[in-house]
Amino acid sequence: MTADGLPMTVPAQDLPARVRIHEVGARDGLQNEKTTVPTEVKAEFVGRLAEAGLTTIEATSFVHPKWVPQLADAEQLFPMVSHLPVALPVLVPNERGLDRALALGARRVAVFASATESFAKANLNRTVDEALAMFEPVIRRAKADRVHVRGYLSMCFGDPWEGPVPVHQVVRVCTALRDLGCDELSLGDTIGVATPGHVLTLLSALNEAGVPTNVIGVHFHDTYGQALANTLAALQHGVTTVDASAGGLGGCPYARSATGNLATEDLVWMLHGLGIETGVDLGRLTATSVWMAERLGRPSPSRTVRALSHKDQ
Ligand code: HMG
Ligand code: MG
């Protein structure tokens, strides 16, 4: 470590020069907190993340408020952050969600599919194909309005009800999302069971099915401590979009074994150590996660946040 609390930079071969971090703490993180964070605190959180240099900050979800009460204030929150000079994607499961997001001027939306029937039912009250049919008009209308569409795919590696998920099952739903018009895909390891070989196998299978690497992002949860190893494998394959959550907040309310996402600080520590640009100020980001942890009343699970915030003690 350098004297100013940054990792030493030692580049490795065959890695991208720059990575875009898709920050999901305000959405994936806060949707899973037992306590509902006040709207003003969420707005300040998003503002601080932007000040720390994050350029894509998933702000909230326009889902049914009974399904995710923690994000029921989407209508109040979005106008409080929409002036920020960053991309602010929001989750929309259906046309009702899209109407709500468009009415507030959202320019980036994300639909969220599942590779497994069990999770499609638990998360969307639909079969996999019914959910795709629900997304079809959402994506069509968003594209007609030149709104950017991300397609999440959950349970790409394992499912708490169904066990390991066959690669061909994931490829089928990914190609369906692409055919519907998604600009970008995010491969979700919702319960954090992936390992690097599995990640590389899935990425290669997607390429063979005609899905180029430059439209693929990775979304790892860190349940088994594999998120960084999986990320490095994805980077070696050419992926340059990585989802992460400030302070390691997160999980999914409809998958009980899901824990926090890969912590953005842990990701930035590794990327900067490799000499990969992110535009993120690690000190500012860590201070934000320490501030948020105080509001949530529990320490951040991020190893980097803990190490950096205790280094003077
Ligand atoms: P449903 O009960 O089947 O809804 O839920 P419905 O279509 O039958 O409609 C029932 C009522 O809900 C209607 O009202 C609708 O208007 C209303 P009524 O006519 O009875 O008065 N409604 C809505 N209200 C507000 N906003 C809406 C909306 N839609 C319907 N958008 C539904 C279906 C999709 C709505 C529900 O299942 C839902 O909201 N699910 C969201 C679950 C969720 O947000 N999960 C977490 C995000 S996914 C995730 O975290 C994974 C990810 O991180 C990647 C990874 O890690 O794998 C992305
Ligand atoms: Mg997630």
Residues 6 or more apart whose CB falls under 8 angstroms from that of 44 comprise: none
How distant, in Å, are the alpha carbons of 148, 153, 179, 234 from that of 96?
A: 17, 20, 22, 34
pLDDT of residue 256: 62
Which of 112, 126, 125, 210 is closest to 156 using CA atoms? Answer: 112
Nearest CA to ligand 1 atom 41: 63
pLDDT of residue 253: 56
**C-beta of 96 in contact with ligand 1 (< 6 A):** yes
CA dist., res. 191 & res. 255, Å (int): 7
pLDDT of residue 259: 72
- For residue 85, the SS3 value is coil
pLDDT tens by residue, 70-98: 999 999 999 999 999 999 999 999 999 99
Low-confidence ranges of the chain (pLDDT < 50): 313
**C-beta of 227 in contact with ligand 1 (< 6 A):** no
Tell which CATH classification among 3.90.550.10, 3.20.20.70, 3.30.2000.10, 3.40.50.2020 matches the domain 24-311.
3.20.20.70
Q: Which ligand is nearest to the CA of 66?
A: 1
CA dist., res. 145 & res. 46, Å (int): 25
Residue to probe by mutation, ligand 1, list 64, 154, 219, 257, most atoms within 8 Å of CB = 64
Residues 6 or more apart whose CB falls under 8 angstroms from that of 40 comprise: 80
Cα(97) to centroid(ligand 1), Å: 8
pLDDT of residue 257: 57
Q: What are the start-end ranges of the H helices in 52-163?
A: 74-81, 95-103, 117-124, 128-144
pLDDT tens by residue, 225-272: 999 999 999 999 999 999 999 999 975 556 565 678 999 999 999 999
What b-and-e string marks burial along 175-184, b requiring 16 or more CB atoms within 10 Å of the CB? ebbbebbbeb
pTM of the full structure: 0.96
Residue to probe by mutation, ligand 1, list 28, 61, 62, 63, most atoms within 8 Å of CB = 63
